[in-house]
Amino acid sequence: MAGTTWLQEIVWLVVNDGDLEKAKQSQVYFRSPFLEFKDLVLNEVGLDLAESMPPPRVIKTHLPVDLVPSGLFTSKCKVNVCDIIDIAFAL
């Protein structure tokens, strides 16, 4: 396991001033959606959840950089990219 969900939770807490009470109100998936996934039970798509969230948003994706919207790299957002080789050596 590479720890992406753990990192997702930590980043969300940093962005939200460590507000644990707010974090307990909903699961990390709803606070920081997985961009390309669809929840088959709730019929929620990560992209739709992300678009409906107020900024600042924390979004998780495993999309290759080539498939990420180009505006992501020209905006004021922060991007964390993990290399598969780094992950392999971490295991």
Spell out the residues 6+ positions from residue 22 whose beta carbon is closer than 8 angstroms to its own. 16
Catalytic residue among 18, 42, 48, 62: 62
Secondary structure class of 18 (helix, strand, coil): coil
Secondary structure class of 46 (helix, strand, coil): helix
Active site residue 62: yes
Q: What does each C-alpha distance from 56 to 7, 11, 49, 76, 85 come to in angstroms?
A: 16, 11, 13, 10, 30
Q: Active-site residues: which are they?
A: 62
